[in-house]
Structure formats: structure tokens, C-alpha cells
Amino acid sequence: MANVLVTGGAGFIGSHTCVELIAAGHDIIVVDNFSNSKREALLRIEEISGKKLKFVEADILDQYALKMIFDKYRIDAVIHFAGLKAVGESVHMPVEYYHNNITGTLMLIKAMRAHNCKKIVFSSSATVYGVDNPVPYVETMPTHTSTNPYGYTKVMIEQILRDVAVSDPEWSIVLLRYFNPIGAHKSGLLGEDPNGIPNNLFPYIQQVAIGKRDYLGVFGNDYDTHDGTGVRDYIHVMDLARGHLCALDYALSNTGVEAVNLGTGKGSSVLDVLHAFEKACGRKIPYKIMPRRAGDIARCYANTDKAKELFGWQARYGIEEMCADGWNFIQKNPNGL
């Protein structure tokens, strides 16, 4: 069992992963600055796991805070979720995105190196496949273009981490390329709780279902897909969380760098998700067809062979469970955490 530093552990994916890490017997320390999360998430992790959580409220840009953490705890590995993630916002605030995500990661790598901690699992994204690669996306495809600054932070951080691995063969680095994580913890205690108007499909549908918003705007129905709406590879956040346990185990016993897709390999359209959610909540979800959203692509889904071969990992849940668990969460937390 390892001592694991979890950056961004109060966030959506981080909080669910903390639950799984604790259940697997790891000793974890969370660092978060709550720029996009709430302290309540940490209490919920404690409630689910029945354990007290080690937590430091700090910004990963703060090198003194990082030094203090690494001095105090003997950390074997880092799972690095902390980052800003809103695609549209990144177009308007590129400097803030590059600084937070890239400088933050550099600060973290420096603190790790200074304390001889050389194992990291990084939250990358399917967005690194850009717009030119054909689906399904395979890890060996070129990844040097994006449509927005957020996506470029992922492309650049992957490159930085690859260069770190080249410079020192003792490093062990796993770049996890997530597809579209949705759903919630079975208990309904944890789930996705975005600030303001949701940018993403699933939290928006949840808010329409609970009556907070009148209808879903469907961004385009003239794509080259089975019903004209955009197709994505939605993955249950608990499957994703379990993927991190596998990646951590791999990093603990291997060196070098590996990029690995975490998806289901199946594509669902906007209307497929909407109808599955209607089934889960037993209500109609009103929608209106709107123009396409800038930067969106028609289809995005994973080839999942590598995760299976390297980690023995495969997604277990389908869109029905994702919707049922998402509905359970929003019913129990209509105003978020």
C-alpha cells in the first residue's frame, strides 16, 4: 500500500478516486485550493469511507506549500487532478489556464524531484487527439493539435512529462486520457457539482430533470452520426476512479511513460443520453435543437485495448447506470454539495 498525494482531490473525479484509493487501503493526502470545488466533498469522502482524511488547503502554484507537504509526509506517488478545465473559459482566459495548469504541474514536478518522488498519474484528456485523427482514438496517434487553450495545456503537459521521463529513467509516468466522465457515487453523496451554468451535457441534463432549467439546448443535429447529434464516449466516474487504482499499481512497479485511454469504447449521442436519463428519472426532458457549438467534433470514442492489456481494466457500467446514479445524486443534492 502506498502513500499517495492527490492534487485536486476535492473535485469531481478526484473525490470519487479518493473513495476508491481509501477502500483499496492506500494512505492518501489531498491538496486542493477549492477554486472549483467545495470542502463538503471532503466530508462526504470521510462519510463514505469512515476514515479521517489528511488534507492541506493550498495552491499547487505555491512552492512553499508543496515543500511543506513533501517534507511532512513520505509520499510514494502523486495522482495529479488539479487543473482548470472549462474549454470555453480557457479561450477567454488563456494566460490563467496556461499558468494554473502548466506552471502548477512544473511546480509539482520540481517538488517531487526534490523529494525523490518520481511516480505520477496525470489527468489528461481525449481532447489531445485534436480534430484530425479518425475514431476510435488509439494511444499511438499524433496529439499535437487542439482547438482551445485548455486542450493545449494537456498536450503540453503530456510533452513535459515525456521529457522528464527521458531525462531521468527512474520516473514512472502514466498519462490517463479520459473520455467523458459522468455519473456519481452509488450513495448519492458524491457527484458532479459545477459552479454556475453547466458547460457540459450531463450536469445540464441533471438540472433540467430536477426542474432548475427549462430545457436542454442540443448543439447541432446535422452531424454525420446515427441521429445527427454529437457522439461521445461516456464513462462512469466510478469506472474511471478504478482506472486510477490500476494506473497507480502500474506506476508503483514500472518505470517509463505510458499514455492510456480510459473510455468504454462505445459512442452515445446527445439524444441517446437524454433518452437514457428520461428512463432513469421517469420524466420527459424538454430540449431544443440549437446551432453547433464552436470547436465541437462529430464523434469521439476510445479504442480501449491498451488499458485492458496493460492494467487488466475495462469499464463495467453502461449509460443506464450512469444516468441512474446521476439522477440519484441530483435528487439528493438539488443545490449541489
**Which residues of this chain interact with ligand UFG, rule CB under 6 A?**
85, 87, 125-127, 151, 179-180, 199-201, 204, 216-219, 230, 232, 270, 293, 296, 300
Nearer to ligand NAD, 63 or 255 (CB): 63
**Spatial contact of 300 and 179, defined as CB atoms under 8 Å apart:** yes
Residue found by looking up cell 511532512 in the block: 72
> Which of 97, 150, 152, 178 is the catalytic position?
150
Residue 146 lies near ligand NAD (rule: CB under 6 A):
no
Q: Cβ-closest residue to ligand NAD? A: 11
Residues in 115-134 at the binding interface with ligand NAD, rule: CB under 6 A: 123, 125
Nearer to ligand UFG, 74 or 293 (CB): 293
Instruction: Give the span between the Cα atoms of 175 and 19, in whole angstroms.
Output: 21
- Interaction mask 84-113, ligand NAD, x per CB under 6 A: xx--------------x---x---------
Q: Cβ-closest residue to ligand UFG? A: 230
Residue 301 lies near ligand NAD (rule: CB under 6 A):
no
**Spatial contact of 334 and 327, defined as CB atoms under 8 Å apart:** no
- Interaction mask 164-203, ligand NAD, x per CB under 6 A: --------------x-xx----------------------
Residue 82 lies near ligand NAD (rule: CB under 6 A):
yes
Q: Among ligand UFG, ligand NAD, none, what binds residue 87 when CB lies within 5 to 8 Å by partner kind?
A: ligand UFG
Could you say which of 81, 202, 223, 313 contacts ligand NAD (CB under 6 A)? 81
Q: Among ligand NAD, ligand UFG, none, what binds residue 100 when CB lies within 5 to 8 Å by partner kind?
A: ligand NAD
Residue 13 lies near ligand NAD (rule: CB under 6 A):
yes
**Spatial contact of 133 and 186, defined as CB atoms under 8 Å apart:** no
Q: Among ligand UFG, ligand NAD, none, what binds residue 11 when CB lies within 5 to 8 Å by partner kind?
A: ligand NAD
CA-to-CA separations, 118 to 103, 112, 127, 153, 249, in angstroms, rounded: 18, 6, 26, 21, 14
150 is catalytic: yes
Nearest Cα to 219, choosing from 228, 210, 211? 228
**Shortest Å, Cβ 14 to ligand UFG:** 14
* Stated length of the chain: 337
Residue positions annotated with a catalytic role: 150
Residues that bind ligand NAD (CB under 6 A): 8, 10-14, 32-37, 59-61, 81-85, 100, 104, 123, 125, 178, 180-181
